[in-house]
């Protein structure tokens, strides 16, 4: 029974190793670390998951002396810096099976649809290009070539593709987003409009 309570799956240093019988300054208990994470927008419910969370996110931890002869040996955690907390939050946003990651996926889907719905129709630019002579036509010349280049440049600056929408979402939410996920959301919610509203080829 005692061996099970004192189980040390992460091979942490104990007070015999590091010399601290009580919690040192700048170290937090399970509850204190959990409360800190929640205050920084990192959802956390179960304190029994704190050691695994700390290990997965490279938060230094150690064991201190147990108070009395019964109960488990307490684990304490070095308080993460603001930069470290922000990195943890950012990493969790990009892990789809984390709670924060699932929240972010919903936000990404909403942002994708928002940007798509206000995307500028490329058809007027295509019409302008169709009205100009093409390379190989008798009246195609340097001036026509310049006009075509200006229209194409404006079209790609003002209209959207799956890639450009992915970039906008990533910037808006400060998270990863790629054209594959944009395609997935648009095919699910706006399939009939994709060909009309997005640039092609990308």
- Using a 10 angstrom Cβ sphere, with 0-12 exposed, 13-18 middle and 19 or more buried, the burial of residue 186 is buried
Q: Torsion-angle region of residue 80: left (phi > 0), alpha (psi -120 to 50) or beta?
A: beta
Percentages (nearest 5) of helix, strand, coil residues in the chain: 55, 5, 35
Q: What residues are paired with 28 via a beta bridge? A: 77
Given this model, what pLDDT does residue 70 score?
67
- DSSP-derived letter for residue 198 is B
- Using a 10 angstrom Cβ sphere, with 0-12 exposed, 13-18 middle and 19 or more buried, the burial of residue 97 is exposed
- Domains of the chain, by residue range, sit at 2-93, 99-197
Given this model, what pLDDT does residue 171 score?
96
- As a whole number of angstroms, the distance between CA 57 and CA 46 comes to 16
Residue 77 host element (H or E)? strand 75-78
Along the chain (202 residues), what's the average pLDDT of each consecutive run of 10 residues? 58 82 91 94 82 94 82 90 95 89 95 97 94 87 93 96 97 94 97 93 56
Packing angle between helix 82-93 and helix 99-117, nearest 10 degrees?
70
- As a whole number of angstroms, the distance between CA 87 and CA 108 comes to 19
Q: What residues are paired with 62 via a beta bridge? A: 76
**Residue 194 contacts residue 181 (beta carbons within 8 Å):** no
């Amino acid at each position: 029974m005692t061996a099970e309570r004192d189980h040390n799956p992460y091979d942490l240093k104990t007070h015999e190793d590091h010399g601290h019988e009580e919690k040192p300054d700048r170290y937090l208990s399970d509850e204190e670390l959990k409360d800190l994470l929640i205050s920084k927008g990192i959802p956390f419910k179960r304190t029994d998951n704190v050691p695994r969370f700390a290990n997965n996110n490279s938060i230094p931890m150690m064991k201190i002396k147990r108070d009395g002869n019964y109960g488990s040996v307490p684990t304490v955690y070095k308080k993460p810096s603001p930069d470290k907390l922000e990195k943890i939050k950012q990493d969790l946003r990009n892990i789809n099976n984390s709670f924060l990651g699932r929240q972010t996926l919903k936000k990404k889907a909403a942002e994708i649809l928002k940007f798509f719905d206000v995307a500028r129709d490329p058809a007027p630019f295509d019409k302008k290009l169709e009205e100009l002579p093409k390379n190989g036509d008798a009246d195609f010349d340097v001036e026509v070539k310049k006009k075509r280049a200006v229209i194409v440049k404006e079209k790609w600056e003002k209209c959207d593709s799956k890639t450009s929408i992915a970039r906008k979402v990533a910037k808006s939410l400060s998270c990863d987003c790629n054209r594959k996920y944009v395609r997935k959301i648009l095919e699910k919610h706006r399939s009939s409009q994709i060909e009309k509203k997005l640039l092609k080829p990308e």
